[in-house]
Amino acid sequence: MGHRFTYVVTPEEENEQLTVEWFLRRHGYSRHIITGLKRTEDGIFRNGVRAYTSQTVHAADVIETHLVETEPSDGILPRPVPFSVVFEDHDILVVDKPADTPIHPSIGNYENTLANGIAWYFAQKDEPFVYRCINRLDRDTTGLIVLAKHALSAAILSKAMRSREIHRTYQAFALGETDPSGTIDAPIARLDGSLIQRTVDFSAGERSVTHYRTLAHYSGFSHLELNLETGRTHQIRVHMSYIGHPLLGDTLYNEAPGAFPRQALHSATLSFVHPITGEPLTFHAPLPEDMQSFLLRNAFEKGFS
């Protein structure tokens, strides 16, 4: 089992006097991937002949690679953990994660994670799959996650994530009546003495920026759309608590979390460039049933108050 890719060298790339290695680096291959290709018998070919990475490429050269993927991720037990497939091709998988589902196995969560569900999904298709989750969501945050199906798409998407080229829009329910819109620019750091909790810390924190827009006000809470400029752990939860509008149901950052059974946060939109084809992609996930029902119930009560 493997993934094969074919490229044609352009005149511009010949003018830069690129070697095979730097040509591949230009196309998103990491040093680690290239090392693996060198060790693969049919890993790299140039014009139909096995290539050395030190060779110089020329215009119209055909470069072919073969990424071999034979073993699944170690230690992830296949289990029928539910999730919805939003999109899948040879390179990526986009899923809609439900609430009460951790991303990775950890102490006390060996068989109930998204990783277990993904392992089960590919086991049913008899396909080896290494778990490569590009963006992260908290256990009780629902919505969109993109996974890479091979090392090259993982390398390109991970770089895009670091460069803030993967854009995420969330929806949330926050306590109180928020402003029509706003930007929270406040650095976040780990809270002293806690392995989990974060806090705004202007002396030791990393720059963190969240933009929000109010979609509607209800009795006691607001329905928000939020966009992340940075991607710190618990960023939305920390920032909304910092401005006095913590998320409903957030037992970590809201002293009075209210009636909602979890933090009311959903990853609704995910936009990025496809790592292989270069096509711009945007995916949407509707609000989960618990958030939809909560809105409908409060809209009804608002209408008859």
CB 291 within 8 Å of CB 171 = yes
For residue 98, what are its two tokens?
């439900």
The answer to whether residue 89 is catalytic is no
Closest C-alpha to 167, from 213, 231, 91, 103: 231
Contacts of 219 (CB under 8 A, 6+ apart): 298, 301, 302, 305
Give the whole-angstrom CA distance, residue 154 versus residue 156: 6
As a dihedral over the C-alpha atoms of residue 213, residue 215, residue 217, residue 223, rounded to 10 degrees, the angle is -80
Among the listed residues 138, 179, 192, 290, the single catalytic one is 138
Separation of alpha carbons 101 and 262, rounded Å: 12
β-pairing, 62-68 vs 44-46, is antiparallel
Contact predicate 20/63, CB 8 Å:
yes
The residue type of 94 is V
Active site residues: 138
